[in-house]
Amino acid sequence: VKDALGRVQAVLVLGGGSDIARATLHRLLDDGPLTAILAAREPERLETEDLTARGATVACVAFDAAEPATHAGVIESAFANGDVDVVLVAFGVLGSQTELEADPDALVELVRTNVVGGYSALAHSVARLRTQGHGTVVLLSSIAGRRARRSNYAYGSTKAAVDELAQGIQLSLAGESVRLIIVRPGFVHSKMTEGLRPAPFATTPADVAEAIVRSLRENVSVVWVPPVLRAVSAVLRMLPTRALQRL
Ligand SMILES: NC(=O)c1ccc[n+]([C@@H]2O[C@H](COP(=O)([O-])OP(=O)(O)OC[C@H]3O[C@@H](n4cnc5c(N)ncnc54)[C@H](OP(=O)(O)O)[C@@H]3O)[C@@H](O)[C@H]2O)c1
């Protein structure tokens, strides 16, 4: 449960190895002690010393986004030792657009992880927080889901699907004490984008973490990182396809 000052005390990270998630945990640790349950495909390979050295209590559990039948059990187990204040849905695969165009099976795999996994993780997390009676789901969505772009439209389409579901869940949560925050970063320097040419307005995991922690304190439902991307995205959405093809 959040403490008397409203500080987050326990976080479940689905996609426990994510750089953005790690930065978020560090930013939360700036404010006080924390329990972090890191759910990842290879939990034994997760490094935790940087967190425990700062006073965090850390547990690592096995979780594969592409195996939705296991999600309810994994999420339930995270609540075994007490309340969870925040579920951070941080897993995702970018893939190579060129390879995905050449390999329909790889495209389906991407959908299995990002979309099927994303829907399942969101639905189970919200359901479990409703049972608990409070808590916040933070979804790492992306500007890539707001308008198809030549360089990453396969990934973008998967983020669009989950973002749309999340918007609907937000409507369904009106008046309840469970929240869902949609975070839409642009290009973030992380493992996912290693070796890629940064897009305009590129940010760092620490920038996204700061925005996430601020959104947990404020009554916001959608967060753009950096904020200017809200306007950039609005313009992109209005551009005719022919203009986008020339970009
Ligand atoms: N970086 C960006 O530019 C950017 C921009 C906007 C949104 N986002 C979103 O932010 C989130 C975090 O990304 P990041 O930048 O922190 O990248 P990251 O460090 O590469 O984190 C992505 C995580 O997803 C995990 N993952 C992939 N497939 C999985 C599966 N089947 N089951 C469980 N975990 C799986 C990876 O785990 P493994 O270690 O097992 O591979 C990795 O830890 C993602 O949803 C991403 O789409 C990123």
Which of 152, 184, 187, 190 to mutate for ligand 1's pocket (most ligand atoms within 8 Å of CB)? 190
Six-digit token pair at 179? 């929240």
pLDDT tens, position by position, 86-130 = 999 999 999 999 999 999 999 999 999 999 999 999 999 999 999
Whether the CB of 224 sits within 6 Å of ligand 1: no
Atom of ligand 1 nearest to the CA of 63: 33
119 is an active site residue: no
For residue 203, give the DSSP letter.
B
Ligand 1 atom closest to Cα of residue 185: 6
- What is the mean pLDDT of the segment spanning 79-87? 96
What is the pTM (predicted TM-score) of this model? Answer: 0.97
Measured CA to CA, the distance from residue 78 to residue 221 in angstroms comes to: 25
Q: Give which of 121, 222, 136, 139 is closest to 176, Cα–Cα.
A: 136
